Chains A and B, each alone.
Chain A
Amino acid sequence: MTDPSLPRDPAGTQLPPEESSAYVRAVETKQPANVAPAGTGLTPAAKGHGPTSASRVVSSPWFAVAIVVLAIALPFIDSGAYTLRIATDALIFVMLAVGLNVVVGYCGLLDLGYAAFFAIGAYTAGLLSTTFGWPIIATIPAVVVMAVVGGLVIGAPTLRLRSDYLAIVTLGFGEIIRITANNLDITGGPNGLFGIPDFGDFGYRSDVTIYWFTAVVVSLAVIASSRLGRGRLGRAWRFVREDEDAAEAMGIHTYKVKFAAYVTGAIFGGLAGVLFAVHQTAISPPSFNFLWSALILMAVVLGGMGSTPGVVVGALVISLLPELLRGAENWRYLVFGVLLIVVMIFRPQGIWPHTPSEPASAARREPDPQPEVTA
């Protein structure tokens, strides 16, 4: 039998199917997603990898809704004091991580003193609610203002400089805030502040109320940071991270854009501080040391810079893993460290890296008429 679709040589014998060129074969076998075959301009490059069913499930909005519902339902599943404490801590840490992700992940600014904003939020809320007797809710606007002021003071001079300076200055800032809190009388010095009230009496156990409040605020923060990353400002952050000069050449005021990222991060950090102050009921300077800043940054890097789901997962891993390793007693921090190193070796881009993509609505369905080319 001969296949009529195959070309024949004049003698009528069948030729083998035409071989693709060595170049095309090399491209196909080696880097299907990286190199579009040159010269085949009329067909769009093949999509490297279609969405797998798993990734389709997790990127659907219902997945996020399910997570939020699950988080809010937790006290019905297990309302033990230990569980709620760990869960509240983890959620606050998630909020810190998505906040820092705006600065580091989206905009590419290395902030080594992010805990400073956490401290500013916690101390502002703590001070106003204890010494001045404000309800916690009423301190929130003041916290936002203080966080923005802190962002202005540090950001204004340093964001004009190269980004390596920012790392050094923020590192110093983190320590200055902590040392200041340690030395002022009004902040309670080394003893800190205690007796910080909760959000009010809603007829439930106080720790359940605090957990719910935290879950709602953190869910909103995660959604807000994810959506911010997609709009005009979020794109500008990524442009700045990728190439500041090119961004400027498109009319993007890179200083303002970096500033917006830094201040947004400050607000997230400050609000997380409020949740922390309420949850702990007492705060003192050691709660805001460099280790905190380092751990938050680690959550961002471990999860996947610029990726909201990644950063959430990273934060949960960093905050919950030491608890899960409690059985290992004194070894747990060693095991924790080794695990982190292993992850970073095998997944340097993070557990759940950001993959730049377009919504389905952005892709053209039919190829457009080609602009005529005068050859």
Chain B
Amino acid sequence: MNAVLECRDLAVAFGGVRAVDGLSFDVHEGEVLSVIGPNGAGKTSAFNCITGFYKPTSGSVSFRGADITGGRPANIAAAGIARTFQNLRLFGDLTVLDNVRAGMHVRLRQNAFDAILRTPRYRRSEQVATDESHRWLDFVGVRSDRTTQVRNLPYGEQRRVEIARALAREPQMLLLDEPAAGLNHGEKEELLALLRRISDLGTAVVLIEHDMGLVMEVSQRIVVISYGKAIAEGTPAQIRTDPAVIEAYLGAEDAEARSEAEQIAAEQAEELRAHENRARSSAQEEGR
């Protein structure tokens, strides 16, 4: 397996908090890799280090063989890494189509003079931008009016628009930060199908997600992060039984965090069991 992305001993700290603390992992070409871990484990910070929003204090990130450590976010994005944000970061006042056109910005071939003079090149390029935006919105399944301001859309649709915008970048690797957060059951099912379609495009997907059902269903591999370090890595089946993972979810030190962690762990264990049961029964149905 070729690695598209290699993170080696990444570290970043805020004051005394070592958000990422010697994190190493690889993303293989075309795979869906999930990154899980308790709240505050440093998952989002790791994404921010990879995409250039945080400058890692040590360690390295290389993407398709090129060192991108500490690069400017725009350059990293232009190199082929697209991302979404944990808290939606759409251009709220702009239309749905314009939001998706943002993803195409680096690929459009027109300059300011083309725009002022309305040259054929400008018209062609605008037409491409519109057509492709529609294509990506179709791909993610946005059904709302695409000519209105994006903030008028329901939350679930906005989540999809954000993914469409990232896909319009046509990235080799897509980082999704908790895309299922706030979605209802039906929307999660649609997200699962969407993640599969994205994976079918050949795009490597890195998924930060708390919904264990979704994670177990869609990932080829899982990396578990705790206190800024990768504590386990493997297939969903391996992670399910890894003692270090159970420990991480239960081993929070202060009592408050502990009870919260336990609750999450209990919920996730429950989901895992339910998921396993489902997987077993569907395997039986298929007669394997």
Whether chains A and B associate is yes
Q: Which residues of A contact B (CB under 8 A)?
A: 33-36, 38, 41-48, 223-224, 227-228, 230-236, 238-239, 242-243, 245-254, 260, 264, 356-358, 361-364, 367-368, 370-375
Find out whether the CB atom of A370 lies under 8 angstroms from the CB atom of B141: yes
Q: Does B280 contact A (CB under 8 A)?
A: no
Interface string of B188-200 (1 = CB under 8 A from A): 0110111011000
Partner of A227, one of B73, B74, B118: B118
23 inter-chain pairs at a CB distance below 8 angstroms, sorted by A residue, are: A36-B145, A36-B157, A41-B143, A45-B148, A46-B145, A228-B112, A238-B94, A239-B91, A242-B93, A245-B53, A246-B90, A249-B77, A249-B83, A250-B166, A251-B106, A251-B169, A253-B74, A358-B147, A362-B130, A362-B147, A370-B143, A374-B192, A375-B186
Find out whether the CB atom of B94 lies under 8 angstroms from the CB atom of A362: no
Chain B positions within 8 Å of A238 at CB level: 91, 93-94, 98
Chain A positions within 8 Å of B114 at CB level: 231
| Distance from B158 Cβ to chain A, minimum over Cβ atoms (Å) | 10
Q: Does B179 contact A (CB under 8 A)?
A: no
| Distance from A227 Cβ to chain B, minimum over Cβ atoms (Å) | 5
Partner of A364, one of B53, B83, B134, B166: B134
Q: A248 to B77: give the CA distance in the assembly, Å.
A: 7
Known contacts A249-B53, A249-B166; 11 additional CB pairs below 8 A are: A36-B154, A44-B145, A45-B144, A232-B108, A245-B89, A248-B72, A248-B74, A248-B77, A251-B74, A251-B75, A356-B93
Interface string of B71-94 (1 = CB under 8 A from A): 011110110001101000111111
Asked whether A253 and B72 contact (CB < 8 A) given A44-B144, A246-B85, the answer is: yes
Interface string of B152-178 (1 = CB under 8 A from A): 111011000000011001000000000
Interface string of B94-122 (1 = CB under 8 A from A): 11011001110110101110111010001
| Distance from A214 Cβ to chain B, minimum over Cβ atoms (Å) | 20
Chain A positions within 8 Å of B91 at CB level: 238-239, 242-243, 246
| Distance from B274 Cβ to chain A, minimum over Cβ atoms (Å) | 17
Q: Does B125 contact A (CB under 8 A)?
A: yes
Q: Does B211 contact A (CB under 8 A)?
A: no
Chain A positions within 8 Å of B24 at CB level: none
Chain B positions within 8 Å of A245 at CB level: 53, 73, 85, 89
Q: Which residues of B contact A (CB under 8 A)?
A: 51-53, 72-75, 77-78, 82-83, 85, 89-95, 97-98, 101-103, 105-106, 108, 110-112, 114-116, 118, 122, 125-126, 129-130, 134, 138-141, 143-149, 152-154, 156-157, 165-166, 169, 186, 189-190, 192-194, 196-197
Chain A positions within 8 Å of B166 at CB level: 249-250
Q: A373 to B141: give the CA distance in the assembly, Å.
A: 9
Find out whether the CB atom of A239 lies under 8 angstroms from the CB atom of B102: yes
Q: A36 to B144: give the CA distance in the assembly, Å.
A: 8
Asked whether A368 and B138 contact (CB < 8 A) given A248-B73, A254-B74, the answer is: yes
Chain B positions within 8 Å of A247 at CB level: 74, 102
Closest to A223 in B: B116
Q: A34 to B152: give the CA distance in the assembly, Å.
A: 5
Closest to A372 in B: B193
Chain A positions within 8 Å of B78 at CB level: 251
Closest to A39 in B: B154
> Which 3 A-B pairs have CB atoms at the shortest separation, nearest pair first?
A231-B115, A251-B77, A242-B91
Partner of A252, one of B102, B130, B145: B102
Find out whether the CB atom of A363 lies under 8 angstroms from the CB atom of B154: no
Q: A200 to B108: give the CA distance in the assembly, Å.
A: 43
Find out whether the CB atom of A374 lies under 8 angstroms from the CB atom of B189: yes
Find out whether the CB atom of A232 lies under 8 angstroms from the CB atom of B134: no
Find out whether the CB atom of B51 lies under 8 angstroms from the CB atom of A36: no
Find out whether the CB atom of B105 lies under 8 angstroms from the CB atom of A364: no
Chain A positions within 8 Å of B193 at CB level: 371-374
Q: A252 to B77: give the CA distance in the assembly, Å.
A: 8
Chain A positions within 8 Å of B118 at CB level: 227
| Distance from B7 Cβ to chain A, minimum over Cβ atoms (Å) | 18
Find out whether the CB atom of B189 lies under 8 angstroms from the CB atom of A246: no
Find out whether the CB atom of B146 lies under 8 angstroms from the CB atom of A249: no
Q: A252 to B52: give the CA distance in the assembly, Å.
A: 13
Q: A266 to B196: give the CA distance in the assembly, Å.
A: 49
Highest count of chain A CB atoms <10 Å: which of B75, B102, B157, B169? B102
| Distance from A167 Cβ to chain B, minimum over Cβ atoms (Å) | 21
Q: A43 to B102: give the CA distance in the assembly, Å.
A: 25
Find out whether the CB atom of B51 lies under 8 angstroms from the CB atom of A358: no
Q: A227 to B122: give the CA distance in the assembly, Å.
A: 11
Chain A positions within 8 Å of B106 at CB level: 250-252
| Distance from A296 Cβ to chain B, minimum over Cβ atoms (Å) | 22
Find out whether the CB atom of B115 lies under 8 angstroms from the CB atom of A227: yes
Find out whether the CB atom of A358 lies under 8 angstroms from the CB atom of B95: yes
| Distance from A121 Cβ to chain B, minimum over Cβ atoms (Å) | 20
Closest to A236 in B: B105
Highest count of chain A CB atoms <10 Å: which of B94, B110, B125? B94
Partner of B97, one of A243, A358, A370, A371: A358
Q: A236 to B147: give the CA distance in the assembly, Å.
A: 18
Chain B positions within 8 Å of A46 at CB level: 145
Q: A152 to B146: give the CA distance in the assembly, Å.
A: 38
| Distance from B196 Cβ to chain A, minimum over Cβ atoms (Å) | 8
Chain B positions within 8 Å of A372 at CB level: 193
| Distance from B32 Cβ to chain A, minimum over Cβ atoms (Å) | 16
Chain B positions within 8 Å of A44 at CB level: 143-146
Q: A42 to B122: give the CA distance in the assembly, Å.
A: 33
Q: A242 to B97: give the CA distance in the assembly, Å.
A: 15
Find out whether the CB atom of B152 lies under 8 angstroms from the CB atom of A250: no
Find out whether the CB atom of B74 lies under 8 angstroms from the CB atom of A45: no
Find out whether the CB atom of B89 lies under 8 angstroms from the CB atom of A357: no
Asked whether A373 and B98 contact (CB < 8 A) given A245-B89, A249-B51, A250-B77, the answer is: no
Chain B positions within 8 Å of A34 at CB level: 152
| Distance from B129 Cβ to chain A, minimum over Cβ atoms (Å) | 8
Q: A331 to B103: give the CA distance in the assembly, Å.
A: 53
Chain B positions within 8 Å of A367 at CB level: 143
Q: A234 to B92: give the CA distance in the assembly, Å.
A: 16
